[in-house]
Structures are given as C-alpha cells and as structure tokens.
Amino acid sequence: MLMTIAANSLDLIGNTPLVLLKGPSEATGCEIWGKCEYANPGGSVKDRAALYIVRDAEANGSLRPGGTIVEGTAGNTGIGLALVGNALGYKTIIVMPDNQSAEKMATIRALGAELVLVPPAPFANPGHFVHTSRRIAEETDNAIWANQFDNIANRKSHIFGTAEEIWEQMDGRVDGFTCAAGTGGTIAGTGLGLKAHDPDIVIALTDPHGAGLYNYYQCGELRAEGNSVAEGIGQNRITANLDGAPIDTQFRVSDAEGLAVVRQLLDEEGLCLGLSSGINVAGAMALARQLGPGKRIATILCDSGFRYLSTLYNPEWLASKGLETLKEAAA
C-alpha cells in the first residue's frame, strides 16, 4: 500500500482518496465515487482554494510577510485560510454569518483567527458577510481580501488539483461529475479540468433549494425557490468562478433528499458527512439515472458530519427547521 510522506503540512492539502459508494451505486446501476475532501487538514474541500488564494497573493506581491488574510465565509474557507495562514506566518480575520454551526465558529477561534460574526443578510445588503470582510481588509494595514467568490485562484485549485486527481484515480474513465455550487470554484474548476481531458464528460450542477442556479442553467433566469439549511452551498449570482462553467445539465435536490442520503451513508457505509455531501450524492444518483446503467460518476464529499453535531445531527435542531431526524429520513 502506498503511504504518503509530506515535506510540510501544506503538502497534505489535496490528493484526497476516492471511495466507491456502495449503496448509491447499487441503487442506480452505476459506479458512484465520492472524493473524500474531509480528509484535507482543515477537514473540507475549501483547503484547496485557501492554499491557492494565499499562494497567488504571495506571487503577485499583495500579501507581504507579517500580513493579514481577511475573508467572508460560511466557515470552511475560514478554517482553511486560518490553517494556511498559521503555516505561513500570517494573521487571519474571518467574517461569518452568525447562523452557521457552532462547531465551525469554535474551530476558527481555536485556530487563533479573529472571528467577526454578522447577521445573515442578502448579498445586496452592505452588511452581508462578504461586503463586511472586504471593508475590514481595506481598513487593515498589510491585509488582503481573499475574495473566494470572485477570485479565480479558487477554481484554478480544482482545474489543476481536483480534476487531475479524479481523472487519474478513475483511470481516465469518467462519464459524469456533479456537485453543488457555493463560490462555484469546485464545479467550474473540476468541470473545466475534466473536459480538458474528455469534452464528453457530463458536468451537472446539483443545486439546493433556495438557490438560483438551477433555474439559471435551465432557462437563463436567476430565480430561487424554497430554502435550505445546508451550509456553504447555494448561490444566487454568477460569480467570477462560475463565469464560463461548463454546465451540461442541472438537478435540484431538497434537504430531505440530502438528509436521507446522509443517513444511509452513515448507517450502511460508516461515512459521517455534512448535508452538502448528501445533496451532492443525491445529485450524482440523479445524473446516474439520466445517463443510464454502467456509467462512472464522481462527486464531492465536502466535509465531515462532525462539523454539524449541534445542527444536522441534533434532533431538536432538525425539528426546529421542520426536518425529520436523520433516523426518520432514512426510514
């Protein structure tokens, strides 16, 4: 068995395992593979973008020694930036909506980053966490604004990282790829990278309720319907990372569907995942049914369920959101 030895902690980012998901594969007659992004040092797919954004800022001279990294995030990018910042000697200021999981907030504080919490707000509101983080960066000496939504270093991390890894791990036999979009970096970058190898690979957006991209790619109108409690996914504008994304088809997945997949993967395969992963796998199953039996499809397992013990894995919290408990969702 090949064992990985890393010269430094940042070399641990990426090169994550790919796992065949038995239940979803059997249910669809396809091979459905999950990229285990929770195996990154910061516990999520966002470590990739964090590293690329910081390295890009160093290369262009905007981030100088002793500087500060400022970002607005649902949490996972903040965790990734804090870890990368610690490893490279930078301070980190993270702005988060105050309705995200307590585990993410506690983790960011534990990593030594300064955490600024703001009320949830529409993007058009100047109090939105993204705009707040930009203002803080502008007012802080020797600071950069990571700007993960519109900084295309984000999607480059997936063009040159995630996509290449999937292509190699699947021996160049990939029929489809799908995931949800938050910044859009993962789906756009992985899609562009995979299609550079084979233009016939089908790239599907899996959109949660409450996001506008499903309607945009279906009929050209950014229109949201419903709502979702999934953290870090769901977008109502075309970010710079999404611009030119090679989306071939699209699916909309409810929280209830995603929750049922989360429970199934926990009960039957011992994988403890967040809701975004459940939504992604449900989307991969929808793509499998659309493409037909025998196809090979990859998706992203974004982060661990351990990051959501106070929410997704808490029956009282689920009930407060009008959702069934995980046990009921699997029934």
What positions carry a catalytic annotation?
46
Number of C-beta neighbours around residue 286 at 10 A: 21
- First and final C-alpha spacing in the chain: 38
Cα dist from 38 to 14, 45, 274, 290, 295, whole Å? 10, 7, 10, 28, 25
Q: Rounded to the nearest 10 degrees, what angle do helices 46-59 and 76-88 cross at?
A: 50
**At 20, which helix (H) or strand (E)?**
strand 18-20
**At 31, which helix (H) or strand (E)?**
strand 31-36
For the CA atoms of the chain, what is the radius of gyration? 19
Cα 24–14–8 angle (5° rounding)? Answer: 145
C-alpha 54/C-alpha 46 separation (Å) is 12
Among 16, 312, 326, smallest CA distance to 161 is for: 16
Cα 283–124–204 angle (5° rounding)? Answer: 15
